[in-house]
Amino acid sequence: MQSQDILCSAILAEDVQKGLRFAVATTAGHRPLTGDHLEAVQAYLNRVRELVLAKCAEAAAVRFLRAHGVNYLPANVEASPELMALRIKKEVVLIRPYHFADEQVQAADILRAYALLWNGHEHDEWRLRHQVDRLIFAYTSGRLWITLQQDLSTLLKPSPSLQPDHIHLSTEALQVFLAAAPSVQECEQSFRQLPAGKRCLPFQNGLPYPAMGCPVRRLTAFRRVVEWGGV
């Protein structure tokens, strides 16, 4: 894969708002309110941010498919909520998004990233290869700020009723890169076990969990798969 094979798309304001609605609905009733309250709130906001960015990446991928006349349908895969599965022709395709950096980056930077699937903790993504035929690895960059428009005491209630309009999002230069789209067989041949703590992009401070991974540059490009009609 070369840098010109990586597709870059802007993230739209409507993508961000849809992502926020999804994130608030998904995290309702699942916030850790034990221990340090401020840490619990920050953990919740970090999770909201993660889900919003993931849904923005998915929206960009779907928009590209639609613009290029690639028909798709939703598919059911037992995965965490930030992972979207689609049925494209005869293949079930799983989109795996990651946030690359808060600053704006170029396609050449994405080539230095890894395609990763967690392996060896409670959210074992590597096992999902048995449910799909292909994976799409997408990377967002740019800044997303979250500001609470709700009194903190309300958020810390045992059953808070947080709504999307209680959170304000602001963005700067948000974009998404559609990078690799390897088949499951390609993943099984190319991915290697990486220990927790290993430094690799987009995890400059080290992987939080063990993972199966491979440098993006060694995998089939998303753009090439679409052009070939592989999906």
Confidence of residue 152 (pLDDT cuts 50, 70, 90): low
Mean pLDDT for all residues in the chain: 87
**pLDDT given for residue 150 in this prediction:** 65
What is the average pLDDT across 74-78?
Answer: 89
Predicted local distance difference test score (pLDDT) of residue 161: 60
Alpha helices of the chain — where are they, by DSSP H? 13-27, 37-67, 107-110, 152-155, 184-190, 222-228
Q: pLDDT value at position 168?
A: 86
Say what the alpha-carbon torsion angle 221, 223, 228, 230 is, to the nearest 10 degrees: 70
State the average pLDDT over residues 110-131.
90
Residue 43 confidence (pLDDT)? 80
Q: Which of 18, 15, 47 is nearest to 31 (CA)?
A: 47
Give residue 120's pLDDT: 79
- The answer on pLDDT for 33 being more than 80 is no
With a pLDDT cut of 70, the percent of the chain lying above it is: 87
Mean pLDDT throughout 159-180? 83
Residues 6+ apart with CB under 8 A from 115: 96, 135, 137, 179, 180, 182, 187, 191, 213, 214, 215, 216, 219
Output the pLDDT for position 149.
Answer: 72
How confident is the model at residue 153, as a pLDDT? 62
- Of residues 164 and 103, the one with the higher pLDDT is 103
- Position 112 pLDDT exceeds 90: yes
> Is the model's pLDDT at 32 over the cut of 60?
no
Angle, CA of 140, 41 and 85, to the nearest 5°? 40
Looking up tokens 């005491």 gives 153
Identify the pLDDT of residue 91: 93
